[in-house]
Amino acid sequence: MYAFDYHKPTSLRQAASMLAKAEDAKILAGGHTLLPTMKQRLAAPSSLIDLGALAELQGIERKGRSVVVGAMTTHAAVASSDVVREAIPGLAEMAEMIGDPAVRTRGTIGGSVANNDPAADYPAACLALAATITTNKRKIEADDFFRGMFDTALEEGEIITKVSFPVPAKAAYAKFRNPASRYALAGVFVAKRGSEIRVAVTGAGADGVFRWTAAEEALKTRFSAKSLAGMAADASMMNSDIHADAEYRAHLVGVMARRAVEAATTR
Amino acid sequence: MAIVSMTVNGKPVTADIDPRTLLVQFLREHLRLTGTHVGCDTSQCGACVVHMNGAAVKACTVLALQADGGDVVTIEGLANGAELHPMQAAFREHHGLQCGYCTPGMIMTAVDMANRLGPDLSEETIRSELEGNICRCTGYHNIVRAVESGARAMAGQPMREAAE
Ligand SMILES: Cc1cc2nc3c(=O)[nH]c(=O)nc-3n(C[C@H](O)[C@H](O)[C@H](O)COP(=O)(O)OP(=O)(O)OC[C@H]3O[C@@H](n4cnc5c(N)ncnc54)[C@H](O)[C@@H]3O)c2cc1C
Ligand code: FES
Ligand code: FES
C-alpha cells in the first residue's frame, strides 16, 4: 500500500469539500474492496475520506412505498433488518449471501453500488427493483446508473447518500457462487411490481450487470418459473474465464432465473 | 502520522501511527498481541478475525484509524485469567485444531456466531457461518463439533465430552 492522508469528516458537507479539495482523493466506506485494491497497488489515492463517522448516511427506513437504505449501511444490517425483511425479503436474503459474516459486518451498500463489480450482488438488486440512487448532487435511476463493469454515472467527487427501493409485489434473488471467492458466477434478481417485471443478471455478463429482457417478456404472460422453461441467456454476451465459460454462464442464468421466480412466487 | 485511540481487551491504548497501518498490524506489531494471525492478507482466510464494536471483522482489511474510538477484543481478551473462555475450552475438548494457525480467527468467529445466533447452532448453520475462515489442517469436522458445543457452553449448558 502506498502512503496516503486520512480524513474522517463529521458531516456530508465537510466530506464533499474535502473530496473536492484534495487531489486524487478517494472515499473510504467499508474498505472491503478499496483496501484490498490498495494493498495490491492497483489503487493509490493520495487521501482517503472515511465516511465512517457520518450518522446521516446510516440506517434503514420505510418511507411510503419505498425502503430507503443509507449509503453506509452494512450488508449485515440490511440482512437482519425487520423493515427490509417485511417489505422486501428478497433484498435481505441477497445481503445475507454476500461474502461471509465478517465481510458483511464492514461492507456497505454505497461502496458496493459505487464500485459496480461485474460479479457483485447489489447492482442486480438495484436494477431489478428499479432503485433510485441518491447522491449529494442528484437522484439517478438504476437504469441510468450502472454503465458496464466498474463504471457508473457517478461524477468526480459525487457521494452516494442513499438508495431507495420501491416495494415490489414479489421479488427474489438466486445466486450461483464462485466457491472460492463467493461472488456470483451468475446471480439473478427478479421483481414484479404492478404489471412491470424486471430481471437483472450479475456475474455472468461480459459487461457487468444487465437486464435480461427476453426473460422479462416471457414472464409477462405468466409470472411463473414455467414461463422460463428451457431458456438460457445469449452466450455471445456472457463473460468467459477460468471459473466458467460463456456457454455455462448462459445456462446458469436460466437456472438461477427459474429459481428466483420460484422463490418469489412461493413465499 | 496520525494519532489513534481505542480500547483493546478492555484497556485504553493510544499511538502515533502511519495511516496505512492495518488494525492487524497495530495489534500485532504495536501492541505485541500476536495471537491474531495473518494467513492471507487478502481478506479471504479469517485468521485475523477480531471483534470490533461487538462484531467479527477481518483485521487485515480494516485500517487501525477506522477503529479509532472503538472497542476491540482479540483472542487474548477472551480468557478470564487462567480460565479459558467456553469456546476455547470447547476447541480443546473437541480437538478443533491441529497446527493452530487458523484457531484464533475460528474462535473469534465462533464467539460472534453464538452471540448473534444463540446456543443452538445446527451443523449447516455453523458450516455456512464459517465460510470466511479457512483451515488447512483439520477438514473442519472437529471445528464444527467444537463450535456447536462451545455455543451451548457459552449459554451455561454443560460441555459435551468429545467422543474418544
Ligand atoms: C472476501 C470478500 C468476499 C466478498 N464477497 C462478495 C460477494 O459475494 N458479493 C458482493 O457483492 N460483494 C462481495 N464482496 C465485496 C463487498 O461487498 C464490499 O464490501 C463492497 O463491494 C464494497 O463496499 P465497501 O463498503 O467495502 O466499499 P469500499 O471498499 O470502501 O469502497 C469501494 C469503492 O466505492 C467508493 N465508494 C464507497 N462508498 C461510496 C459512496 N457512498 N459514494 C461514492 N463512492 C463510494 C470508494 O471510493 C471505492 O472506490 C466481498 C469482499 C470480500 C473482501
Ligand atoms: S489474514 Fe485477514 S483474512 Fe486472511
Ligand atoms: S489447524 Fe492448521 S490451519 Fe486450521
Is the pLDDT reported for residue B163 higher than 70?
no
- In this prediction, residue A246 carries a pLDDT of 97
**What is d(CA A163, CA A78) in angstroms, rounded to the nearest whole number?**
12
Please compute the mean of the pLDDT values over residues A105-112 and round it to a whole number: 98
Tens of pLDDT, residue by residue over A126-166, are: 999 999 999 999 999 999 999 999 999 999 999 999 999 99
**What is d(CA A54, CA A18) in angstroms, rounded to the nearest whole number?**
14
The one-letter code for the residue type at A231 is M
**What is d(CA B45, CA A223) in angstroms, rounded to the nearest whole number?**
41
Tens of pLDDT, residue by residue over A174-200, are: 999 998 888 999 999 999 999 999 999
Tens of pLDDT, residue by residue over A194-231, are: 999 999 999 999 999 999 999 999 999 999 999 999 99
Contact, A133 vs A113, CB < 8 A? yes
A50:B113 CB<8 A: no
Q: Does B2 touch chain A (CB under 8 A)?
A: yes
CA distance A182 to chain B (A): 9
Is the pLDDT reported for residue B141 higher than 80?
yes
Q: Which domains does chain A have, with CATH numbers?
A: 5-49 (3.30.43.10), 58-166 (3.30.465.10), 170-265 (3.30.390.50)
Please compute the mean of the pLDDT values over residues A85-110 and round it to a whole number: 98
- In this prediction, residue A23 carries a pLDDT of 87
Say if ligand 1 is within 6 A of residue A191 CB. no
Q: Was domain B2-74 assigned CATH 3.10.20.30?
A: yes
Please compute the mean of the pLDDT values over residues A62-80 and round it to a whole number: 98
Residues of A in contact with B45 (CB under 8 A): none
Best CA proximity match to A77, nearest among A60, A89, A98 = A60
Is the pLDDT reported for residue B162 higher than 80?
no
Is the pLDDT reported for residue B164 higher than 60?
no
- Measured from the CA of A29, which atom of ligand 1 is nearest? 30
Q: Give the confidence band of A47 by pLDDT, cuts at 50, 70, 90.
A: very high
Q: Does A155 touch chain B (CB under 8 A)?
A: no
- In this prediction, residue A148 carries a pLDDT of 93
Please compute the mean of the pLDDT values over residues B7-18 and round it to a whole number: 98
- In this prediction, residue A5 carries a pLDDT of 96
In which residue are the cell numbers 473510504 written? A28
Residues of B in contact with A111 (CB under 8 A): none
CA A180 vs CA A42, A109, A183, A185, B44: distances in Å: 21, 22, 8, 11, 9
What three-state secondary structure class fits A108?
strand
**What is d(CA A264, CA A192) in angstroms, rounded to the nearest whole number?**
9
For B54, nearest residue in chain A (alpha carbons)? A105
CA angle A79/A85/A86 to nearest 5° reads 165
Please compute the mean of the pLDDT values over residues B87-100 and round it to a whole number: 97
- In this prediction, residue B161 carries a pLDDT of 72
Q: What CATH superfamily is the domain B86-154?
A: [2Fe-2S]-binding domain (1.10.150.120)
What three-state secondary structure class fits A191?
strand
Please compute the mean of the pLDDT values over residues B133-152 and round it to a whole number: 97
Q: Can you list the pairs that A147-152 forms with residues at least 24 positions away whose Cβ atoms lie under 8 Å? A: A147/A116, A148/A207, A148/A208, A149/A116, A149/A117, A149/A118, A149/A207, A149/A208, A150/A115, A150/A116, A150/A117, A150/A118, A150/A208, A151/A116, A151/A208, A152/A113, A152/A114, A152/A116
Is the pLDDT reported for residue B70 higher than 80?
yes
Q: Which residues contact A64 (CB under 8 A, 6 or more apart)?
A: none
ipTM of model: 0.95
Q: Beta strand A170-177 with A160-166: parallel, antiparallel or unpaired? A: unpaired
- In this prediction, residue B30 carries a pLDDT of 97
**What is d(CA A210, CA A188) in angstroms, rounded to the nearest whole number?**
10
> According to CATH, where is 3.10.20.30 located in chain B?
2-74
In which residue are the cell numbers 454476500 written? A98
Contact, A43 vs A37, CB < 8 A? yes
Say if ligand 3 is within 6 A of residue B100 CB. yes
- In this prediction, residue B13 carries a pLDDT of 98
**What is d(CA A127, CA A187) in angstroms, rounded to the nearest whole number?**
12
- In this prediction, residue A267 carries a pLDDT of 87
CA B130 vs CA A58, A103, A182, A183, B46: distances in Å: 27, 12, 13, 16, 9
Tell me what the pLDDT averaged over chain A comes to: 97
Q: Does B129 touch chain A (CB under 8 A)?
A: yes
Is the pLDDT reported for residue A256 higher than 80?
yes
- In this prediction, residue A67 carries a pLDDT of 98
What three-state secondary structure class fits A31?
coil
